[in-house]
């Protein structure tokens, strides 16, 4: 079984961190940073409608919507909705100097888009997380522009690790396929739980029981996959006896027009939609 990673890496973070947007994702990141050793007094938050947790942190030294002269931040994390980016990003230029790392998790907003609003030479990382970030179990994929140093790349990894695992890509164009796989992916897994419940009902189970069985089967299998060193195919083979019940179902799921073909089409459609939305 896998070992836990170092939990307190952010005690090494020197300087100030500015979080822009403390909604679902921003708050999840904030919780993760504090758990990993960042101090409230190192953090400033820009958020028009701060929740109770952020207000409580403001009483412990976090700067909420700071006014007056602004200092450059060591890192700025942008977690506002993509639709309001053109309003929120330009004012961040005042917090940027040549050492600042800008990390954006806005879906569909490219590095080129951010560069238009920030000073020339700004180090920018664009990342795509996913919903399990809310429980620290997301996966983010990150891409950097040429101004990001090795130290800043490590810093971005440590900030993103607060909400789960981190992968890097060299080619930002892959972000559309990433969005289609891991960004939108949690919805496919939830749909699997829904479809299994419906199929159980069709097979004669009471609806409430079918729903519980489907939910726990998806959640438990996900947890087993998470904790195991074995890959998904091996875990699947381990529960499939030749000629048994699982094999009968897999003959259907892995047959023509089965899971593989369906998901290939679904992910191609999401990739295409992501390209269209990015413009």
Ligand X SMILES: NC(=O)c1ccc[n+]([C@@H]2O[C@H](COP(=O)([O-])OP(=O)(O)OC[C@H]3O[C@@H](n4cnc5c(N)ncnc54)[C@H](OP(=O)(O)O)[C@@H]3O)[C@@H](O)[C@H]2O)c1
What φ, ψ does residue 72 adopt, rounded to 5°?
Answer: -70, 145
**What's the closest the beta carbon of residue 159 comes to ligand X, in angstroms?**
14
**What's the closest the beta carbon of residue 218 comes to ligand X, in angstroms?**
18
Applying CB under 6 A, does 184 fall inside the site for ligand X? no
Applying CB under 6 A, does 82 fall inside the site for ligand X? yes
The one-character DSSP state at 216 is H
Distance (Å, rounded) from C-alpha 215 to C-alpha 136? 20
Task: Specify the stretch interacting with ligand X by CB under 6 A; choose among 55-63, 79-87, 213-221, 239-247.
Answer: 79-87
Applying CB under 6 A, does 76 fall inside the site for ligand X? no
Which is nearer to ligand X, 104 or 157 (by Cβ)? 104
Applying CB under 6 A, does 25 fall inside the site for ligand X? yes
Count of CB atoms situated within 10 Å of the CB of 208 = 10
Closest CA to 77 of 139, 29, 34: 29
Residue 268 tokens read as 């191609």
**What's the closest the beta carbon of residue 108 comes to ligand X, in angstroms?**
7
Which x/- pattern over 123-162 shows residues binding ligand X (rule: CB under 6 A)? Answer: -----xxxx-------------------------------
**What's the closest the beta carbon of residue 57 comes to ligand X, in angstroms?**
15
CA dist 199 → 46, 186, 250 (Å): 47, 20, 15
63-102: b or e for each residue (b if 16 or more CB lie within 10 Å)?
bbeeeeeeeebbbbbbbbebeebeebbeebeebbeeebbb
Pairing of strands 138-144, 123-128: antiparallel
Applying CB under 6 A, does 226 fall inside the site for ligand X? no
Applying CB under 6 A, does 47 fall inside the site for ligand X? yes
Assign 148 to helix, strand or coil. Answer: coil
Applying CB under 6 A, does 26 fall inside the site for ligand X? yes
Applying CB under 6 A, does 55 fall inside the site for ligand X? no
Pairing of strands 138-144, 75-78: unpaired
Closest CA to 254 of 272, 267, 240: 240
**What's the closest the beta carbon of residue 7 comes to ligand X, in angstroms?**
23
Which is nearer to ligand X, 46 or 123 (by Cβ)? 46
Applying CB under 6 A, does 18 fall inside the site for ligand X? no
Applying CB under 6 A, does 164 fall inside the site for ligand X? no
Applying CB under 6 A, does 107 fall inside the site for ligand X? yes
Applying CB under 6 A, does 232 fall inside the site for ligand X? no
Which is nearer to ligand X, 192 or 205 (by Cβ)? 192
Task: Specify the stretch interacting with ligand X by CB under 6 A; choose among 76-84, 110-118, 154-162, 187-195.
Answer: 76-84
The answer for 159, left when phi > 0, alpha when psi is -120 to 50, beta otherwise, is: alpha
Q: Check the CA dihedral 122-125-126-131 and report its sign.
A: negative
Residues within the interface to ligand X (CB under 6 A): 20-26, 46-49, 79-82, 84, 87-88, 105-107, 128-131, 183
């Amino acid at each position: 079984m896998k070992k836990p990673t170092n939990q307190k890496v952010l005690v090494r973070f020197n300087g100030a961190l500015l979080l822009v947007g403390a909604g679902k994702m921003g708050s999840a990141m904030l919780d993760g940073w504090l758990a990993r050793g960042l101090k409230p007094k190192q953090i400033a938050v820009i958020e028009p409608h701060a929740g109770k947790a952020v207000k409580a942190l403001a009483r412990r030294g976090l700067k909420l919507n700071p006014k007056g002269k602004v200092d450059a931040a060591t890192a700025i994390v942008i977690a506002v909705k993509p639709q309001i980016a053109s309003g929120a990003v330009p004012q961040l230029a005042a917090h940027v100097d040549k050492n600042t790392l800008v990390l954006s998790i806005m879906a569909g907003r490219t590095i080129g888009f951010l560069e238009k609003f920030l000073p020339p030479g700004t180090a920018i990382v664009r990342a795509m997380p996913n919903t399990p970030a809310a429980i620290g179990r997301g996966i983010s994929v990150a891409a950097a522009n040429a101004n990001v140093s090795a130290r800043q790349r490590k810093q971005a990894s440590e900030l993103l690790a607060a909400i789960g695992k981190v992968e890097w890509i060299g080619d930002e164009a892959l972000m559309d396929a990433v969005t289609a796989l891991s960004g939108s992916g949690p919805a496919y897994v939830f749909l699997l739980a829904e479809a299994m419940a419906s199929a159980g009902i069709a097979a004669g189970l009471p609806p409430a029981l079918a729903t519980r069985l489907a939910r726990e089967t998806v959640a438990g299998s996900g947890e087993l996959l998470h904790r195991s060193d074995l890959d998904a195919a091996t875990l699947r083979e381990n529960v499939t006896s030749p000629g048994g019940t699982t094999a009968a179902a897999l003959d259907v799921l892995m047959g023509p027009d089965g899971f593989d073909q369906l998901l290939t089409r679904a992910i191609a459609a999401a990739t295409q939609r992501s390209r269209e939305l990015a413009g």
